[in-house]
């Protein structure tokens, strides 16, 4: 980021007569966002293993692909507008969420959850897997939320007890 100095204020006396406190005001310019999303490629690094978006897409039917496209568009919009928690999507708040997508979500949610694409936080609120759609900021917070939902589901199913 580049910093531009727009003005200075001085003449603030310090505790000693020969000291002057100088205050400088700087304006920070915003970094432009790249014209692409970061999606998982299936590789592993120190943060874990991402999901390969192409392998996931090959397992989806047409309705699920349209849902994935809708969720990706919502994710991208949140990233462009610098909204916190871009992986959390509330479909009913979007004008693009029509009756077809609503029906497709009701019918295909379980399969998409099984593929680890998304999880339901509460009624009408979903989180996209941060290992599939990787946010440029807030990755750690999204992973904590995702892992908490996975742990809660396993505990409630009786499959995993800590």
Under 8 Å CB-to-CB from 15, ≥6 apart: which residues?
A: none
Mean pLDDT of 11-30: 67
Under 8 Å CB-to-CB from 82, ≥6 apart: which residues?
A: none
In the predicted model, what is the mean pLDDT of the chain?
Answer: 82
The closest of 73, 46, 58 to 133, measured between CA atoms, is 73
pLDDT at 27: 76
- Residue 112 tokens, joined: 């998409």
pLDDT at 117: 94
Sign of CA dihedral 97, 98, 103, 107: negative
pLDDT at 82: 84
- Residue 116 tokens, joined: 């680890």
* Verdict on whether the full-model pTM lies above 0.75: no
160 pLDDT tier (thresholds 50, 70, 90): very low
pLDDT at 1: 45
How far the first Cα of the chain sits from its last, in Å, is: 44
pLDDT at 33: 62
The pLDDT tens digits of the residues spanning 48-97 come to 888 888 999 999 999 999 999 999 999 999 988 888 889 999 999 999 99
Task: Please state, in angstroms and rounded to a whole number, the distance separating the CA atoms of residues 137 and 104.
Answer: 30
Residues paired with residue 83 on neighbouring β-strands, in sequence order: none
Tell me 92's DSSP state: G
Domain ranges across the chain: 38-157
161 pLDDT tier (thresholds 50, 70, 90): very low
Residues paired with residue 44 on neighbouring β-strands, in sequence order: 49
pLDDT at 2: 46
SS3 of 104-160: the string is HHHHHHHHHHHCCCEEEEECCEEEECCCCEECCCCHHHHHHHHHHHHHHHHHHHCCC
């Amino acid at each position: 980021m580049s910093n531009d100095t727009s003005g200075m204020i001085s003449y603030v006396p310090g505790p000693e007569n020969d000291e002057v406190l100088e205050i400088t005001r700087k304006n920070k310019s915003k970094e432009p966002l790249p014209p692409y999303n970061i999606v998982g490629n299936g590789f592993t690094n120190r943060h874990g293993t991402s999901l390969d978006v192409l392998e996931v897409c090959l397992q989806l039917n047409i309705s699920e692909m349209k849902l994935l496209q809708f969720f990706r568009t919502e994710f991208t919009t949140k990233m462009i507008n610098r909204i916190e928690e871009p992986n959390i999507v509330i479909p009913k708040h979007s004008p693009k969420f029509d009756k077809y997508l609503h029906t497709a979500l009701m019918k295909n949610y379980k399969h998409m959850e099984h593929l680890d694409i998304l999880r339901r936080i509460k009624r009408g609120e979903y989180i996209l897997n941060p290992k599939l759609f990787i946010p440029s900021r807030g990755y750690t917070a999204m992973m904590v939320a995702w892992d908490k939902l996975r742990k809660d589901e396993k505990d409630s199913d009786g499959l995993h007890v800590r």
